[in-house]
Amino acid sequence: MPIYEFRCAQCGNIQEVIVSSSKASDDIEMKCDACEGEVLERLLSAASYSMGASKSGPQPSVSTKSCGENTCGTLNIPGPTR
Ligand SMILES: [Zn+2]
């Protein structure tokens, strides 16, 4: 199943959501884990974890990264990397 990243428009929190193949990603209703904001922007960078994030230099799976004018906190990746 595809994994999408969503960034909260209010606080910049990034969370990953595993999307059921039976749903279109645009139909997902979800809230920010941090502030419960409902305005979430879907990011298209999920594939970079396996493809290698070459566009902005090497990045570990878990790191801080720049999100526009904000700096996001720890990006938690559930799985064997922890
Ligand atoms: Zn938020």
| In a domain? residue 33 | yes
| In a domain? residue 60 | yes
Q: pLDDT of 47-74, one tens digit each? A: 545 554 445 555 545 566 677 777 666 7
| In a domain? residue 18 | yes
| In a domain? residue 78 | no
Q: What is the pTM of this model?
A: 0.45
Q: How far is the CA of 81 from the centre of ligand 1 (A)?
A: 24
Enclosing domain of residue 29? 3-71
Per the CB < 8 A criterion, the answer to whether 7 and 73 are in contact is no
Q: pLDDT of 14-31, one tens digit each? A: 998 887 766 555 566 788
| In a domain? residue 12 | yes
Total structural domains within the chain: 1
| In a domain? residue 76 | no
Q: How far is the CA of 46 from the centre of ligand 1 (A)?
A: 19
Q: How far is the CA of 6 from the centre of ligand 1 (A)?
A: 10
61 Cβ contact partners less than 8 Å away, ≥ 6 residues apart? 49, 77, 81
CA gap 23, 70 in Å, rounded: 31
